[in-house]
Amino acid sequence: MPAHSCLRPLLAIAGGLLLAAAPLACAFAADAPSIAMHGAPALPADFSHLPYTNPDALKGGKLAMCYLGTFDSLNPFNLKAGSTAQGLNTNVFETLMTRSLDEPFTLYGLIARSIDTDVARDEVTFHLDPQARFSDGSAVTADDVIFTFNLLKQKGRPQQRAAFSLIRSVDSPDPLTVHFDLRGLNDREMPMTLGLMPVLPKNHVDPKAFDDTSLAPPIATGPYRVASVVPGQRLTLQKNPDYWAKDKPIRRGMFNVDTVTIDYYRDANGMFEAFKAGLCDYRLETDPTRWTTGYDIPAVRDGRITKETVHSGLPKGMEGFAFNTRRPIFADVLVREALGDMFDFEWIDAVLFNGLYRRTDSFFADSELASTGRPADATERSLLAPFPHAVRPDILAGTWRQMTTDGSGRDRRPAQAALALLKQAGYDIHDGLLVSRAGEPLSFEIMVTNRSQERLALAYSESLARIGVVAHVRSVDEVQYQRRRQAFDFDMMFGTWTASPSPGAEQRSRWGSASAAQEASFNLAGARSPAIDAMIAAMLSATSQDDFVAAVRAYDRVLLSGFYIIPLYHSADQWVAYSAMLRHPEHLPLFGLSNTSPIEYWWRKAP
DSSP class per residue in 540-597: HH--SHHHHHHHHHHHHHHHHHHT-EEE-EE-SEEEEEEETTEE--SS--TT---TTH
Residue 81: pLDDT band (50, 70, 90) is low
Pick from 262, 268, 258, 259: nearest CA to 282: 262
- DSSP letters, 513-556, are GGGGGSTT-S-TT----HHHHHHHHHHHH--SHHHHHHHHHHHH
Angstrom distances, CA of residue 124 to CA of 386, 506, 586: 32, 19, 37
Give the model confidence (pLDDT) of 20-33 as tens digits: 333 333 445 678 99
Which residue, 539, 530, 484, 545, is CA-closest to 507?
539
115-162 pLDDT, tens digit per residue, is 999 999 999 999 999 999 999 999 999 999 999 999 999 999 877 888
Per-residue pLDDT tens over the stretch 292-343: 889 999 999 999 999 999 988 899 999 999 999 999 999 999 999 999 999 9
pLDDT digits (tens, 9 = 90+) for 562-589: 999 999 999 989 999 999 999 999 999 9
Reply yes or no on whether the pLDDT at 80 is more than 80. Answer: no
Top CATH class, 224-314+575-604: alpha beta
Q: Is the pLDDT of residue 16 over 80?
A: no
Distance of alpha carbon 214 from alpha carbon 233, whole angstroms:
15
- 427-444, pLDDT tens digit by residue? 999 999 999 999 999 999
With a cut of 80, say whether residue 445 has pLDDT above it.
yes
Apex 24 CA angle, 104 and 100, nearest 5:
20
pTM here is: 0.78
pLDDT at 28: 58
Residue ranges of E strands in 159-250: 169-174, 177-181, 224-230, 234-239
Report pLDDT for 289: 81
| Residue percentage of the chain with pLDDT more than 70 | 95
Rounded Cα gap, residues 67 and 284, in angstroms? 10
What pLDDT digit, counting tens, does each position of 519-546 carry? 888 999 999 999 999 999 999 999 888 9
- Would you list the domain boundaries of the chain? 224-314+575-604, 318-568
**Domain 318-568 is in which class?**
alpha beta
Task: Name the pLDDT band for 8 (thresholds 50, 70, 90).
Answer: very low
pLDDT tens digit sequence for 35-71: 999 889 999 999 999 999 999 999 999 999 999 988 9
